[in-house]
Structure 1
Amino acid sequence: MSKPKKLIFKNGKRVLVDFDEVSRSEYDKQYNRRRAVEKPDYLKFYHSTQWQKVRAEAMTRDLDLCVRCGNKGYLVDHIVPSEDDWSNRYDVDNLETLCKKCHQLKTKREWTKRHKGVQRAMKVHVISGYPGSGMASYVASKVDTSHDLVFDYDLLMSSLNGNLIESIYSDNDNQSNNQDKLSNIKSRLHQSNVDIYEYVELIYEMILRKLRTERTFNNVWILRTFPDERLKNLLVTTGYDVEYLRLDTTREECTRRLKTVGRYTDSMSTTMDKIDRLDDEGLFDDYKLIKTKKRKK
């Protein structure tokens, strides 16, 4: 005997399905009924005037488009789920417009991470130093590539402006120890593009939002030339184990290194001047000085 059928709406059309099949709309109704009992604050929040106002603000900002795929956006979602950070539920900077498909994929990833992911005792390392001080090399010697997160401004800039790709594939026919070629590669890796700066900052701001509730990594390494009050204020409230490190490579040594690879410019000198000024103002007082090996000249 065949199963009885029922008529439901599926993808905007009326279709016959097996009687025991649960449709999306039925699932949503069951989910909302369960949430009304278990989490009544959620329903009050999503029906509040304040939420409707901030939701409309986010959709206007995103031009009613899904920020992930560019298709028509229908839903406004919390980047850091409100379940993880309830106090941040009205922050428009923590909202993004999504289409239904992208929202479903994000929700699935969040569920998997919450229910099947590993919670780790995460430590945050904030690394600072003069340009050319060797911050990336220091982190590379410490990082666990399987369970660590690294934010390196220079490397991210290089990947977005194409210099990283160019460096990997240039001189592909002669991967020798030719010092001139290595110097050229290092120089390209640190070329900046002012048009891309905004995108690097957006990624950094996204990391800051996620760090509010993150427990997935063993270590998070953040390479910052200058102290950042936003980061410092955030880390004070998260309860993470945090250390601030500063490489002891001198300004004179960093200048020599930068000139060797053709990276020393007026802007580098200005950056170093700012670091010295912030140091005089005591903004590096919380940083532990790390001794680095001196390179042979």
Structure 2
Amino acid sequence: MPVKIKVICGFPGSGKTSYIKEHINFKRDIVYDYDELANTISLMPRHTENKGIHPYLSDILKNMIKRAKNDKKIDCFWIIRTVPDQMFVNLLNGFDVEYFFINKTVFECLEQIQSDPNRKDSDKNWYSLLMGLQSELMKGAFEICQFIN
């Protein structure tokens, strides 16, 4: 049986990681979390921008996808993504993929970001970023996704 890929999309602070933690089978599933991997390979705080590591993280994702295709030891490959852009969607062509969007308002996300004691980036201009993503939502950037709360 081919590996199921579930792509969890949403705004920063929407609860993508929390959603996966509630639904994952810890013994049979794997997760690609860009922010966690960026932190691991750079030792920088989560959500700190470092464009130099992006090619490495992209290669890790491509290799995980390639390997997962025929891996009988995993049931589900979870991918955390803000927006499912066309290049990313093309990367998953030919796989059994479901796309989900965590449907939270900009204000719910801002509240979550500001109240999260583990976020070292709560001073970042999140409102501006989230409003830009809200604009993407209105333009249909998440139309491929099932909306979940």
* TM-score interval (norm. to shorter): 0.7 to 0.9
Instruction: For residue 148 of structure 1, report the CA deviation from its aligned partner.
Output: 0.9
RMSD of aligned alpha carbons: 2.2
Map 1:172-183; keep pairs closer than 5 Å: none
Secondary structure in structure 2 of the residue aligned to 1:127: strand
Q: 2:83 aligned with 1:202, yes or no?
A: no
Instruction: For residue 139 of structure 1, report the CA deviation from its aligned partner.
Output: 0.5
Structure 2 counterpart of 1:273: 131
CA contact (8 A) 2:106 2:131 kept: no
Map 1:89-238; keep pairs closer than 5 Å: 120-163=1-44, 188-211=45-68, 213-216=69-72, 217-238=74-95
Of structures 1 and 2, the one with the larger relative CO (CA 8 A, separation 6+) is 2
Take 2:64 and 2:2, find their aligned partners in 1: how far apart are those partners? 18
Report sequence identity in percent: 27
Map 1:52-91; keep pairs closer than 5 Å: none
CA contact (8 A) 1:158 1:192 kept: no
The residue type paired with residue 84 of structure 2 is P
Secondary structure in structure 2 of the residue aligned to 1:245: strand
Residue deviations 1:194-215, cap 9 Å, x none? 332332222123234435x334
CA contact (8 A) 1:128 1:247 kept: yes
Map 1:35-54; keep pairs closer than 5 Å: none
Aligned residues: 144
Take 1:259 and 1:220, find their aligned partners in 2: how far apart are those partners? 29
Structure 2: stretches of 5+ with no match in the other structure: none
Take 1:194 and 1:233, find their aligned partners in 2: how far apart are those partners? 22
Take 1:277 and 1:215, find their aligned partners in 2: how far apart are those partners? 38
The structure 1 segments of at least 4 consecutive aligned residues displaced by more than 4 Å after TM superposition are none
Rg comparison, structure with higher value: 1
**When the two structures are superposed, what TM-score results if normalisation uses the length of structure 1?**
0.44
Q: Which has the higher helix share?
A: 1
The residue type paired with residue 253 of structure 1 is E
- Distance of aligned partners of 1:230 and 1:141 in 2 relative to their CA distance in 1, 3 Å threshold: same
Take 2:89 and 2:47, find their aligned partners in 1: how far apart are those partners? 26
CA contact (8 A) 1:255 1:264 kept: no
Of residues 114, 119, 132, the one that matches 1:259 is 114
Instruction: For residue 270 of structure 1, report the CA deviation from its aligned partner.
Output: 4.4
**When the two structures are superposed, what TM-score results if normalisation uses the length of structure 2?**
0.81
Take 1:149 and 1:158, find their aligned partners in 2: how far apart are those partners? 18
